[in-house]
Structure 1
Amino acid sequence: MKKFSLLATIFATVGLFSSAVAQAEIKPVTLKFAHIYAAQDHWGQTAERFKAAVEERSGGKIKINIDANGLTGDWPQSIEGLRMGTNHIVLQSVGALDRYAKSAGVEAYPYLIRDMDHYRAVYNGTVGQELYDQITKESGFKLMGAAYRGARYLTSNRLIQNPDDLHGLKMRVPPLRMYRSTWTTLGASPVPMGMAELFTSLQHGMIDGQENPLEVIKNVNLFEVQKNVAETQHTIGAMTLIYSDAYFKKLPEETRQILQEEGERVMKEATDRMIVEEENMKQFLIGKGMAFNAVDREAFGTKIQAMDAEFPELQVWLDKIRAVQ
């Protein structure tokens, strides 16, 4: 037993020595990390976990300063900051890059990701890496890791169970082509507008519904102006860490390795946490008087297939993702 204890001590000492040597070889660098989320919410905490992991593993040689709450601007401005060098890391959805890379738009495609098993198989597999490589090629941005951002749900003051129930429903959508096409195809009357106008527009009856992840529905108190939550789960998307590819390539190999490995690990953990939080948020909203109802997802998914013709530039990715088992 003493012999094994001695060997264990030796291996532990060697491991600590190797770690110390690796940290000593890392060149000091300070990275600016920007996101639009509150520091205490899910994505704010994900950023903090990434910062802590990188700084600990690098022995403090890699420092990360976080600007939360959109301090450097909204998410488009934050991403532009990567190009200008005022930001080094941004936490945002994959689809946020669709203005730079058409392929990125596939992240927001409705009824494409079937469930969480399919999500993991896509984003943690070869197809996900191929998609990331293509986005980098088109946009000049490097994507790192994937975290389930929470499915998007439809809320309204009428019961929605199948696409026919959407007829005449005026609903707010983000001012992006993908969302407009989604709800036009399904039979609703989408009204593009920013988040700042959403609550008051619902409050005064200018629109009848909207769609968002449960996190947003909870955080902006939509339970005060909406009663029904249709479990459409029409988009199962991914958040990612975004860098300027040119800047990232200039970083030392040891630094790139730490950022890559810790980024992927932290984002996978964020997926697991979001699954738990999503159920907690559902129960919170029920407690606030919102009623959740199941929908005929097969009917929604069948009707949305007509949208493929509007996005021929995405067809190769639609086919690849749908084929993942």
Structure 2
Amino acid sequence: MLRTMIGRGLATCATVLGIALATTGVARAEDIVLKMAHVYTPGNIWYETAEAYKKAVEDRTQGKVKIQIADSGSTGDWPQSIEGLAIGTNDIVLQSIGTLDRYGIVAGVEAFPYLIRDLDHFRKVYDGPIGAELADAIAAQTRFRIVGAGYRGARHLTANRAVPTLEDLKGLKLRVPPLKMYSMTWAKLGASPVPMGVAELFTSMQQKVVDGQENPLEIIESMRYDEVQSHVMETAHVIGAMTFIFYDARMKRLPEDVRTVLIEEGRKAMDDASTRMAAMEAEIKKRLQGKGMTFVAVDRDAFAAKLADMPDAFPDLKPWVEKIRAVK
């Protein structure tokens, strides 16, 4: 009798536990720990986006899925972090889509100059059918799965002098991310691009190893480039997209309901970040001006015209460029 009662009690507990897990939307998730890496520091919007994603996933799964974050580049810079996805030391990396172009050219379309026009166009591209198609193409070519797209703001050129025209760019030693798209863009514009990791950039500008760099305003502010650069040229040459990057094969091995949570909350976190960033750009500009930086208008049409034949240099990207430009 006692054995029967205990057996029934255990069965009842198991049933209740099964119902509780099912109602969380992650019925099969047990003690899943995912390691995320990024290079952003406390106070930066992308640092906060990572924290918001962690909280949303853990809350929605009632702690059955946990995300451990290594921030501020504590486990390496972004190329090392992405390599960590392939070998399994990382499960998620927060970085721009274009950083995957070393694994497959299609990801480089994110950094294509004068392609995304504004925030409205950004959302129509990345949140629409083109964005879904692009994510699948990137996964097929690079083995990495992108989740969500966060408006990073426009990238601008900085230097210690005004550079209002293409003529003024000649001879400018310009640090660029170690990606083919950026190097070709600035070489065609007349500068002398110097591929370099971000970790050494501040010191390189301080010691005059390079004359300038290009980044969104939030990076210029958070990395304190105003301390070593005096002018911001409003080139707005790239409107980039941040994303959560997973190793596709490993992600597919997760329970389907876990993948659903990771994808849905990732998209929401990036969408929220897009809204925040759009509101922040004007505020950041004012703060940088208050710190002594001079903002210089440039003839963007002249810059874009100089790059008109760029699609021909990237035949694999040309169809994507045309599709994205056609989105109204």
Q: 1:125-144 alignment to 2 at 5 Å?
A: 125-144=128-147
What amino acid is the match of 2:23? A
Q: Secondary structure at the match of 2:307?
A: helix
1:36 aligns with 39
Contact 1:185-1:306 at 8 Å conserved across structures: no
Q: Comparing 61-70 with 167-176, which one deviates more in the overlay?
A: 167-176
Identity %: 55
1:86/1:204 Cα in 2 relative to 1: closer, same or farther (>3 Å)?
closer
SS of match in other structure, 2:317? helix
Shift of 1:19: 7.8
Distance 2:205 2:44 in 1: 24
TM-score, normalised relative to structure 2? 0.89
The equivalent residue for 1:222 is: 225
Q: Give the direction of change, closer, same or farther, for the CA distance of 1:231–1:19 in structure 2 (3 Å limit).
A: farther
Task: Say if 1:35 and 1:91, in contact at 8 Å, map to a contact too.
Answer: yes
| Matches of 2:290 and 2:51, distance apart in 1 | 30
List, as ranges, runs of 4+ consecutive aligned residues in structure 1 with deviation greater than 4 Å: none
In structure 2, relative to structure 1, the CA distance for the partners of 1:175 and 1:85 (3 Å cut) is: closer
Matched residue type, 1:27: A
More displaced 10-residue stretch of structure 1: 253-262 or 156-165: 156-165
Query: How far 1:139 moved relative to its partner?
Result: 1.4
Q: Which residue of 1 aligns with 2:257?
A: 254
Matched, 1:275 2:278: yes
Task: Report how far residue 188 of structure 1 moved.
Answer: 1.7
Aligned to 1:67: 70
What residue in structure 2 maps to residue 22 of structure 1? 23
SS of alignment partner, residue 312 of structure 1: coil
Residue pair 1:136, 1:143 contacting (<8 A) in 2 also: yes
Match of 1:316 in 2: 319
Contact 1:94 1:104 in 2 (8 A): yes
CA 1:257/1:199 → structure 2, altered by over 3 Å: closer, same or farther? closer
Contact 1:149–1:238 (8 Å) recurs in 2: yes
Q: How far apart are residue 119 of structure 1 and its match? A: 0.9
**Contact between 2:102 and 2:179, CA under 8 Å: does it hold in 1?**
no
Counterpart of 2:50 (choices 47, 50, 55) is 47
Contact residue 26 and residue 58 of structure 1 kept, 8 A: no
Counterpart contact for 1:173–1:210, Cα < 8 Å: yes
Structure 1 residue 68: Cα displacement: 1.1
Report deviation, 1:46: 0.5
Equivalent residue of 1:98, what SS?
helix
Q: 1:284 and 2:287 equivalent? A: yes
C-alpha separation between the residues in 2 aligned to 1:189 and 1:42?
31
Q: Which amino acid aligns with 2:309?
A: A
Report the CA distance between 1:20 and its aligned residue: 6.4
Displacement of 1:176: 2.2
Q: Deviations over 1:221-262 (max 9, x none)?
A: 222222211111101010111111111111112111111111
Q: Mapping of 1:44-193 within 5 angstroms?
A: 44-193=47-196
Note if contact 2:44-2:222 (Cα within 8 Å) is conserved in structure 1: no
Structure 2 counterpart SS, 1:179: helix
Q: 1:256-293 CA distances to partner (integer Å, 9 max, x unpaired)?
A: 11111111111100111111222222111000011112
Structure 1 residues 207 and 84: CA distance shift in structure 2, 3 A: closer
**SS at the partner of 2:316?**
helix
**Pair 143,197 (structure 1): closer, same or farther in 2 beyond 3 Å:** closer
> Which whole-Å CA distance do the structure 1 matches of 2:66 and 2:164 have between them?
49
Residue 22 of structure 1 aligns with an amino acid whose one-letter code is: T
The aligned amino acid for 2:219 is V
Query: How far apart, CA to CA, are the structure 2 residues paired with 1:107 and 1:297?
Result: 19
Equivalents in 2 of 1:195, 1:145: separation in Å?
24
Count how many residue pairs are aligned between Structure 1 and Structure 2: 308
Give, in whole Å, the separation in 2 of the partners of 1:63 and 1:318: 38
1:10 maps to none
| CA shift in 2, pair 1:191/1:20, >3 Å | closer
- Structure 1 distance, partners of 2:197, 2:60, is 40
Unaligned 5+ segments in structure 2 are 1-18
Match for 1:179: what amino acid?
Y
* Structure 1 gaps, min length 5: 1-17
